[in-house]
Amino acid sequence: MSKSDEPCCPLCGRPFGAARNISRHHLIPMSKGGKKGLTVDMHNICHRKIHATLTNRELKLNYFTIEKLQQHPEIAKFIQWVSTKPPEFYERSRDSKIRQAKRKWKRR
């Protein structure tokens, strides 16, 4: 296997790195009937960004493909930003990031 066969995140295109970086996203949220639908593996940080940016309703109606997610202005900006970071970035910065995300979540 060559290096280019390394699995990559479909959202940001970076290699996954360690297995603990990976989480599974339902393209149609489970609560919106996507339980048996398509899933994609992506970085924890990329997955978190999707759910911090979009509601399950928006995901089901407009953002049920990776291409559409990548076209969302907020997520496009995130992809540009995260593409400069190493795959392990999320794990190292985990604590402060999670606290920030939780605070944000409550405000919505």
Binding site for Zn ion (CB under 5 A): 9, 11-12, 25, 43, 46
To Zn ion, the closest distance from the beta carbon of 79 in angstroms equals 8
Minimum distance from CB of 106 to Zn ion (Å)? 19
Complex with Zn ion: residue 83 or 100, whichever CB lies closer: 83
| Nearest residue (CB) to Zn ion, 9 versus 75 | 9
- What is the sign, positive or negative, of the torsion defined by CA atoms of 42, 3, 5, 81? positive
- DSSP assignment of the chain, as one string? --GGGS-B-TTT--B--SGGGEEEEESS-GGGTTTTS-EEEEEHHHHHHHHHH--HHHHHHT--SHHHHHHSHHHHHHHHHHTTS-TTHHHHTHHHHHHHHHHHHHH-
Name the minimum Å distance from CB 53 to Zn ion: 11
43 vs 72, beta carbon nearer Zn ion? 43
CB of 107 to Zn ion, least distance (A): 20
Whichever of 12 and 69 has its CB closer to Zn ion, that residue is 12
